[in-house]
Chains A and B, each alone.
Chain A
């Protein structure tokens, strides 16, 4: 079956512009995660959605970052007024139910963001 998909695969933007990154989780998965992979910081958690519950935003690095998940499926990560330090690969993952530590998270291919 189809895995997690993300778009665009690459994005180049100018400092100060806003960007939107999209994630389509595996069908039927209720939990969705965003992570960021950068050379300096490794893999970092950003935000977590589970069903209709309020998202866990504890990993968002600043208020320029936000995310939403519409209809319990597709998610969009928005970065406002991008800075050069936002350059990274943004990864989305989904799991079947969430709420437990034992589930496998399935990762998408990522969006590589470069802020000039």
Chain B
């Protein structure tokens, strides 16, 4: 079945450090890939997405590239800020398996000044 695996947290960084959160997936069809973010005390919101191989999603300085050959969708940011502290979820949606999102376990990012 379809699944998403993302690196365990927590990830603790200093402000302006480089961020990578690894995400790999297993899917029977051709999924769309998403990163959602949950800031403290807030609901889930879409950070970025990519719908086909080699697409790059980007938003708020975050980027992720859909790599079909490595079944990966790693999240990166060149210089994190304290305000980026949140829980990040990688997810996929596969039309062949229904359109519900399948989520990874989430990675907690803590950025200190």
Contact = CB atoms under 8 A, between A and B. Distances in A.
A22 B12 CA distance: 37
Interface in B22-36: 30-32, 34, 36
Given A56-B98, A58-B98, A100-B99, A42 B104 contact: yes
Interface residues of A, number: 27
Given A101-B93, A101-B94, A101-B95, A33 B45 contact: no
Interface residues of B, number: 26
Contacts, number: 63
Contacts of A95: 99
B105 to A, nearest CB: 5
Interface of B: 30-32, 34, 36, 42-46, 49, 51, 89, 91, 93-95, 98-106
